[in-house]
Structure 1
Amino acid sequence: MSRGDLEDVGRLFNQAFRQVAKAPSRDLVAYLDHLFLSSPNYTEEAGSLVHRNAAGRIDSALLALPMTFEIENRRITARLLCAFMADGRAGLAGAARIARAIRVSDPEFCFSDNASPVSADHWMAGGGSLLPVQSLEWRRTFRPTGAMMERIRTKLPWLNEPFLSILAYPVDQMARRMMPSLAARQELRGRWVTADADSLLHCFQTMTRHFPLRPSWSKDEFVWLLENAASNRMQGTLTSKVLLDREDKEIGACIYFHSPRRTAHVLNVLSEPGHEVEVVEAMFAELEASEHVAARGMAQPFLMNALLRTGRTSFANRGYFCMTTDRKDVRSAVVHDDLYVGGLASESWSRLLTDFR
């Protein structure tokens, strides 16, 4: 994909994901350019793909974002595959050629965290793997009436939001008195402090080092990801915090979209090994104190014990997390859940999921 293709790709995006046949806005074209042609790791070989039919028109496309990963102390270029789109039945042949081109390119690590059931079937048929835990979203509700009102507002956006919040508050106060388990545990052994990019990157590097397969971001790449996530104002204000224990040692970190009276979207939860339970409990207490009605995020194998122990946590399919690789060491890490992915290493922060309606 080149810059000359962006208008056609934007039009195809509108048709495939917004069900409207119209030219893309200037904002959408600029975002596609910035995200997929201007990232710190962009190369043509690791970039997005388009297919032109016999008439020279783009009938299918696959948007890809290169990311740096590390496997057993060796750096590799991973490709986060985002939007896979085709122009109806006319674009299916082109989409199949794109999928085959990915498979035969000897990929070091290609993954998608939001695949549809049909796309997941194609991944599996092509020799890829499905990660069942990362395909789940966890959800913790603090204020059930407020959470229900949020779902109503999503379907009926014309309703008066302040009025609904005022209406929900006394009902939730009563519900929390009747069901004390709705409240997060408050016996915290540490304190949360706001983190800048440097301290947050340090936490990523130290708290994921025991995973054989993990992101290996440079500072430039990490800051670029944070800045792009922060631009997604539809989800709230991007907030980064580090959990310090009583000796002021860093034992956990959290990146989330702060949105009072709404659900907090948690991108990443990090923990020093052995501190998962207290980090998750401290995160829930912090989000509840920040007036969120609920919290949600991608499930991770190393967090499951902590999430299940906190109570009032439910799980649902969030879209299939699929991957493919030609490397035995990467495949082994995936099979044994020895990998860290998700959050910033996913498309869950992208404006393509929330904007450009």
Structure 2
Amino acid sequence: MSEIRPLTAADVPAVADLFQRVILKQTAPAPHTLSDYLMSLFLEAPDQDPEIRSQIYVKPGGSVTGFMGALALPMSLNGTPLRAAIGSCLMVDGHADDPVAGARLLRTFLSGPQDISLGETASDITDSMWRKLRGIVLPSYSLDWFRLINPAGFLVELLANRSAAARSLSPLARFLDRWARRRASGPELRWSSVPIRSDISHTGFLTDSEIDDEVLYELIPRFTASFSLHPRWSQEGLRRILKDAAEKKKYGRMTRRMVTMRDGTPVGAFIYHGDPGRIGHVLQVLATPGHAGSVVDHLIGHAAESGLVALQGRTQPALLDAMLTRRCAFTHRCSTVVHSRNPALLKPFLTGDAFFNGLAGEAWTRLIGDDWNKRREFSRTGKAFRTSSG
């Protein structure tokens, strides 16, 4: 009979192979770098709770065919410490042969010792399983937003995903975008592009500047404390999150910027990945009450000045009003879900007074946005001398 049991270090290579087959759709064995990362993420994290365990699904013959990761997230509700757990990487190989395996893994996760169970990337199938187990989908946390900056460059980027030869059109796209963005200058925002000088970010009394992780360590707790329910990361845990977040090869370079008033008082910050000519992926937008719109303006303005063709990210209720008036489009790709045996703990999520998604989720992990496929490194003579993983 199949069994579900906690993940151990000896199981990690099998889980890595499962991730390689089910998530990455690769037939080759998982690279050792993926195994090492899964070990550090699910078994060695600084804020790991020894009672909140990832689970594997084991067939009678001993093969691992299912997995559900659990990331511990210490939280605080109006000063009261709570234990939360984020469900990550629910996957089953051969679902048709054992259609209840995923539901059994999720049920085991939800029956854990945590006060609150959360999911940030639930697919339609997983969403349905959460609902059947009395989980609640949070619509205002479940939208992805999109802001177009350079329309011609965006079209080239889409075509380049099908054929690299499309990038030869980039010079023409840049010319067309400069023309389009000059026409967009003025007080009225356009859906099609952003003004050439990013006027929307120059509000006169606010400015943004590059910062490092040391500054972020101080800012993040300050900005999240305004929510009644928010993470209470250890400093070591937050350091690990930001370190991992920086390593997303598919998304490009990570930008960290702080928005301040004239006197230097911080009112917000934003973190996004992206390179010129590419689509930027926003990991987090932080703002003090009343400044969300200005922080979003500076985010869009900086991305435009940096040559990105568009921005995309995940919503939070506190940012929705600001984004609705800044020509952001919204779509639903996956759901944010919550479950608790204590109904009182659900209220902050239902009212939008809980800080979740992004850094308080699983989007920061290298499992999203990093490149685990094998690549060959070449010597100066052009001959491959070893194979490594990225």
Tell me which protein shows more helix as a share of its residues: 1
Name the aligned partner's letter for residue 50 of structure 1: I
Q: 2:255 aligned to 205, 225, 239, which one? A: 239
CA separation in 1, counterparts of 2:224 and 2:39?
Answer: 31
CA separation in 2, counterparts of 1:151 and 1:36?
Answer: 34
Q: Does 2:84 correspond to 1:69?
A: no
Q: Which residue of 2 aligns with 1:60?
A: 66
Q: Which residue of 2 aligns with 1:319?
A: 334
Q: 1:173 aligned to 175, 178, 201, which one? A: 178
Q: Does 2:38 correspond to 1:23?
A: no
CA RMSD of aligned residues (A): 1.8
Q: Which residue of 1 aligns with 2:386?
A: none
Give a deviation string over 1:153-195, Cα, whole Å, max 9, x none. 2233x3263x232121111122223444322414322211222
Deviation at 1:106, TM superposition (A): 4.9
Q: Which residue of 2 aligns with 1:103?
A: 110
Q: Which residue of 2 aligns with 1:230?
A: 246
Number of residue equivalences? 354
For structure 1, the 5+ residue unaligned runs are: none
Q: Does 2:212 correspond to 1:204?
A: no
Deviation at 1:83, TM superposition (A): 0.7
Q: 1:51 to 1:206 in 2, by over 3 A?
A: same
Q: 1:198 to 1:336 in 2, by over 3 A?
A: same
Decide which moves more: 177-186 or 322-331: 177-186
CA separation in 2, counterparts of 1:103 and 1:228?
Answer: 26
Q: Does 2:237 correspond to 1:218?
A: no
Q: 2:299 aligned to 283, 298, 306, which one? A: 283
CA separation in 1, counterparts of 2:321 and 2:344?
Answer: 26
Q: Which residue of 1 aligns with 2:139?
A: 132
1:23-62 equivalences under 5 Å are 23-62=29-68
Give a deviation string over 1:279-310, Cα, whole Å, max 9, x none. 11122112211111111111111111111122
Q: 1:346 to 1:153 in 2, by over 3 A?
A: farther
Name the aligned partner's letter for residue 327 of structure 1: N
Q: 1:155 to 1:111 in 2, by over 3 A?
A: farther
CA separation in 2, counterparts of 1:247 and 1:211?
Answer: 25
Q: TM (normalized to structure 1)?
A: 0.93
SS in 2 for 1:329: helix
Q: Does 2:338 correspond to 1:294?
A: no
| Contact in 1 for aligned 2:272/2:283 (Cα 8 Å) | yes
Deviation at 1:217, TM superposition (A): 1.2
SS in 2 for 1:152: helix
SS in 1 for 2:250: helix
Q: 2:84 aligned to 70, 78, 81, which one? A: 78
| Contact in 2 for aligned 1:112/1:323 (Cα 8 Å) | yes
SS in 1 for 2:134: coil
Q: Which residue of 2 aligns with 1:4?
A: 10
Deviation at 1:95, TM superposition (A): 2.5
Give a deviation string over 1:202-239, Cα, whole Å, max 9, x none. 22222222211111112111110000111212211222
Deviation at 1:198, TM superposition (A): 3.5
CA separation in 1, counterparts of 2:27 and 2:51?
Answer: 30
Q: Does 2:354 correspond to 1:339?
A: yes
CA separation in 2, counterparts of 1:5 and 1:91?
Answer: 20
SS in 1 for 2:109: helix
CA separation in 1, counterparts of 2:202 and 2:367?
Answer: 39
| Contact in 2 for aligned 1:207/1:273 (Cα 8 Å) | no
| Contact in 1 for aligned 2:52/2:112 (Cα 8 Å) | no
For structure 2, the 5+ residue unaligned runs are: 1-6, 374-390
Instruction: Give 4+ residue runs of structure 1 displaced > 6 Å after superposition.
Output: none
User: Taking every aligned residue pair, what percent have the same amino acid on both sides?
Assistant: 27
SS in 1 for 2:14: helix
Deviation at 1:10, TM superposition (A): 1.4
Decide which moves more: 9-18 or 182-191: 182-191
Q: Which residue of 2 aligns with 1:265?
A: 281
Q: Which has the higher contact order (CA 8 A, sep 6+)?
A: 1
Deviation at 1:315, TM superposition (A): 0.7
| Contact in 1 for aligned 2:20/2:26 (Cα 8 Å) | yes
Q: 1:151 to 1:244 in 2, by over 3 A?
A: same
SS in 2 for 1:92: coil
Deviation at 1:356, TM superposition (A): 2.4
Give a deviation string over 1:257-280, Cα, whole Å, max 9, x none. 142221221111111111111111
Q: Which residue of 1 aligns with 2:160?
A: 153
CA separation in 1, counterparts of 2:41 and 2:78?
Answer: 28
Q: TM (normalized to structure 2)?
A: 0.86
